Amino acid sequence: MKWLKGIVVVLVVVFALFYMISRPEDAANVVEGAFGAVVSASEAVGRFFTSLAT
């Protein structure tokens, strides 16, 4: 089963590189959207703990 995980990881990396090379603007938008989601989630967690503390 470990070899299957390795194959999947390699396929994902190859696809990501192909996507970055063939459509760099779209790849940048995907990364920007993912970063925005992480920032938004961390702000929500911060608001939760602030609300919990008060």
pLDDT of residue 25: 94
Q: Tell me the residue type at 3.
A: W
1-54 tens-digit pLDDT: 889 999 999 999 999 999 999 999 999 999 999 999 999 999 999 999 999 998
Calculate the dihedral angle through the C-alpha atoms of 20, 22, 23, 25, rounding to the nearest 10 degrees: 70
Q: How many domains does the chain have?
A: 1
- Alpha-carbon gap, residue 1 to 34, rounded angstroms: 29
Residue 29 lies in a domain: yes
- The domain containing residue 43 runs over which residues? 24-54
Q: Tell me the residue type at 23.
A: R
Residue 4 lies in a domain: no
Residue 3 lies in a domain: no
